[in-house]
């Protein structure tokens, strides 16, 4: 079984690659089978343990390059994150839109349509200034993106849906919540602080929170996010159902509640390392995203939100 993961050297991509290499995986309702070839497509090399596996092939470069022989499944995770796409419009369009089209065209050339999982984002929803704040989101809520990143992801969703309707791919789009806590250094995502205000204080470093303490946000742990991506690939077409993107479950919280959880898990006063300095540019993007989701479709597939943010912090610390 040959599987491709675009963005496979990133944080979530690395977790996915490790899981695919670890044991049998079912695709599109088929019986679980071992991955015999895993193609990691990224601008940088995959993690050392992933690269060391003899089944792994690394294709370095942009998505317009050839992806090689036909694949049984493609996980399309590659993309420019929210803040970067807003700052560099051409980069966002080239990577998030043209790159997605290139992956779909590659899949279209297969003799047998592959399972294709596309990771979209809650950023497809936003507070339209002419309408007002977005309320609770359910499976049928109309996306109204308010950033270039959100627009690019929403267009990608529609492309996956149409390529699926035409029979070119067996597409499944999942909308990811903000993932927290991400390890490593901050990235260019507007929501990066939602990991930083936990990660840095746990390392004894100061962190900035550019959002108001009581601004509600929708989060998911890395493990629950990975569960959603894999579940989308596993089910058969009838069980997956609608070609419309599926919202993954979310835990609703606030930066204030997050730092309170940090103190409960790591000890009182840990959150004193967080500096509360509001950044209007960050608030304009992240603050426009919805924070409350009703995800009945995901629940029907056995997916659920994290029970608490304390649980997420505890898992990040390794206990």
Active site members: 149
Q: What is the spatial distance between Cα 217 and Cα 264, in angstroms, rounded to a whole number?
A: 20
User: If residue 176 lies in a helix (H) or strand (E), which one and from where to where?
Assistant: strand 170-176
Give the whole-angstrom CA distance, residue 30 versus residue 44.
32
Q: What span, in angstroms and rounded, lies between the C-alpha atoms of 87 and 96? A: 14
Helix axes 309-317, 255-266, angle to 10 degrees: 50
Q: Which residues contact 159 (CB under 8 A, 6 or more apart)?
A: 100, 101, 104
Give me the helices (H) in the chain, please: 11-22, 48-51, 82-87, 89-92, 99-108, 148-165, 193-202, 222-234, 237-240, 255-266, 280-286, 296-300, 309-317
């Amino acid at each position: 079984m040959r599987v491709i993961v675009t963005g496979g050297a990133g944080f979530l991509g690395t977790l996915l690659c490790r899981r695919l290499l670890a044991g049998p995986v079912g695709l599109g309702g088929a019986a679980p089978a071992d991955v015999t070839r895993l193609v990691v497509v990224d601008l940088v090399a995959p993690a050392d343990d992933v690269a060391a596996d003899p089944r792994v092939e690394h294709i370095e470069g942009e998505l317009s390059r050839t992806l090689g022989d036909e694949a049984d499944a493609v996980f399309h995770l590659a993309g420019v994150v929210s803040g970067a796409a807003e700052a560099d419009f051409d980069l966002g369009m080239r990577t998030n839109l043209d790159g997605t089209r290139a992956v779909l065209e590659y899949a279209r050339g297969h003799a047998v349509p592959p399972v294709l999982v596309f990771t979209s984002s809650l950023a497809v929803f936003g507070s339209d200034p002419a309408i007002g704040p977005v309320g609770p989101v359910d499976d049928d809520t109309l996306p109204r993106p308010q950033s270039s990143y959100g627009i690019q992801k929403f267009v990608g969703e529609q492309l996956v849906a149409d390529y699926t309707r035409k029979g070119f791919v067996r597409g499944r789009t999942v909308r990811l919540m903000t993932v927290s806590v991400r390890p490593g250094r901050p990235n260019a995502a507007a929501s990066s602080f939602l990991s930083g205000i936990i990660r840095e204080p746990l390392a004894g470093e100061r962190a900035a929170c550019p959002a108001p303490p009581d601004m509600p946000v929708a989060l998911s742990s890395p493990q629950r996010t990975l569960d959603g991506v894999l579940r989308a690939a596993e089910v058969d077409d009838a069980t997956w159902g609608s070609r419309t993107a599926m919202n993954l479950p979310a835990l609703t919280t606030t930066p204030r509640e997050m730092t309170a959880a940090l103190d409960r898990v790591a000890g009182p006063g840990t959150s004193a390392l967080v500096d509360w300095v509001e950044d209007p540019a960050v608030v304009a993007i992240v603050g426009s995203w919805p924070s409350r989701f009703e995800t009945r479709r995901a629940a029907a597939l056995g997916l659920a939100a994290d029970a608490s943010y304390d649980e997420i912090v505890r898992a990040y610390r390794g206990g």
